[in-house]
Structure 1
Amino acid sequence: MPRPRSLTAHQIAAAALAVIDRDGLASLSMRAVSQELGTSTMGLYRYVRDREELERLVVERVLGEVDTGPPDPGASWRDQVEVMARRMRDTVSAHPEAVPLTVVHRHHSPAVLRWAETVLAVLTAAGIDGERRVIALRALLAYLIGAIQLEHLGPLAGPGTAAITRLPAGDFPHMSATARTARHVDADQEFLAGLRLLLDGLAA
């Protein structure tokens, strides 16, 4: 392939994400991305300092697709927060191999800041402010981060749950029984039910 005259951050991020989606996160390297772009590895270094910068470009490429606009103002604050949480989860889940990167580099993402600003506006309008608002946002972020990681790195339908069902019932009666039930809970049900439990706590 001919070497492009110039590269944009969008092109580089798209190429890196293509490598991750196709070959897994472990395959991400300057060399792999340069091959995806049809340029030399040294040529890529003209635009990107190192792998960490490459990872940040990928994260902003993924998170930049999140709709951070305000949800329907006529909906309840709980429904609005649920919409924002689902937007984040659905966008990140479209690139499961990139999930670890979104966790590590989220602090550098303008998209996450815009998402958080919208959520804070919803909470404020609901009368949740001060320290309670701080804790509410942190709790929502913690839930999202944990739920997305569990869904892709340790899903209920995965081998880990199956292994727990085979634990000796005499030693682990609750774990084995819970795992047997868990195998019938799908990912959407798990995410939304957990989110609603959290919102119940905020509403109390």
Structure 2
Amino acid sequence: MPRPRSLSPARIAEAALAVIDRDGLPALTMRAVAQELGMGTMSLYRYVDDRQELEGLVVELVLGAVDTVPPPGAPWREQVATLVRRVRDAVAAHPAVVPLTMTHRHSSPASLRWGEAVVDVLAGAGFDARSRVIALRALLGYLLGAIQLEHLGPLAGAGTDVMAALPDDTYPRLAETARSAKTVPPDEEFDGGLAAVLAGIEAGAR
């Protein structure tokens, strides 16, 4: 008779996320998660098949907490912006998970629910199917790219300092821009970029 299943998918996802948060995405292995749970590696295979399934559970844990109900009665741009910001807030707490959201976005129920909410707002605003394709991909590209730059990319932290120190006689505009970047709060930078993307989406649909 098989032993009872004593671990929930949520508990396994929490352990996997703890490994990623502490040691980075490359450290995510069946063995590492099993150790986090205080069990043998082979025992973990009773619950999940492989690392890919672990990744999917992590994505569900992170994105499953995102509220996909847009603010009622708000203009479509505000509704979409709110949905985008909610994902940013959820993922920014675990930036190493960003690559997984792209890998699993077509198989993750939470990701699909979010996508459905966004395109439903766009459809209600009069965007046809072709325009919704372009808009959704533009929003995803901006959202995930902005999170990576903020937390993992070359413009984050010391990267900005390096660019700010570039010689003015060779890279005058780039150095000046990097120095200015230190004075722009992350929320202002994100919201400004998002507003530009939404304005472009609106202009392109006309």
- Structure 2-normalised TM-score? 0.90
What do the CA deviations read for 1:43-78 (whole angstroms, capped 9, x no partner)?
001222221221111111111111112x12211111
Report the more deviating stretch, 8-17 or 152-161: 152-161
Q: Aligned partners of 1:28, 1:136: CA distance in 2, in Å?
A: 33
Match of 2:44 in 1: 44
Is 1:156–1:185's contact at 8 Å kept on the other side of the alignment? no
Is 2:105–2:112's contact at 8 Å kept on the other side of the alignment? no
SS of equivalent to 1:120:
helix
Q: Aligned partners of 1:103, 1:152: CA distance in 2, in Å?
A: 16
Q: Which amino acid aligns with 1:47?
A: Y
Assess, with a 3 A threshold, how the Cα gap between structure 1 residues 130 and 105 changes in structure 2: closer, same or farther.
closer
5 Å matches for 1:46-65? Answer: 46-65=46-65
Match of 2:76 in 1: 77
5 Å matches for 1:72-111? Answer: 72-111=71-110
- Structure 1-normalised TM-score? 0.91
> How far 1:185 moved relative to its partner?
1.2
Is 1:62–1:92's contact at 8 Å kept on the other side of the alignment? yes
Is 1:68–1:111's contact at 8 Å kept on the other side of the alignment? no
Assess, with a 3 A threshold, how the Cα gap between structure 1 residues 72 and 38 changes in structure 2: closer, same or farther.
same
How many residues get paired?
A: 200
Superposed structure 1 runs of 4+ greater than 4 Å apart:
none
SS of equivalent to 1:107:
coil
Match of 1:149 in 2: 148
Give unpaired runs (5+ residues) of structure 2: none
Give unpaired runs (5+ residues) of structure 1: none
Report % sequence identity: 63
Match of 2:113 in 1: 114
SS of equivalent to 1:78:
helix
Q: Aligned partners of 1:86, 1:165: CA distance in 2, in Å?
A: 28
Residue 11 of structure 1 pairs with residue 5 of structure 2: no
Assess, with a 3 A threshold, how the Cα gap between structure 1 residues 23 and 47 changes in structure 2: closer, same or farther.
same
Assess, with a 3 A threshold, how the Cα gap between structure 1 residues 184 and 156 changes in structure 2: closer, same or farther.
farther
Match of 1:184 in 2: 183
Q: Which amino acid aligns with 1:22?
A: R
Match of 2:29 in 1: 29
> How far 1:116 moved relative to its partner?
0.9
Q: CA RMSD in A?
A: 1.7
> How far 1:96 moved relative to its partner?
1.9
Q: Which amino acid aligns with 1:167?
A: L
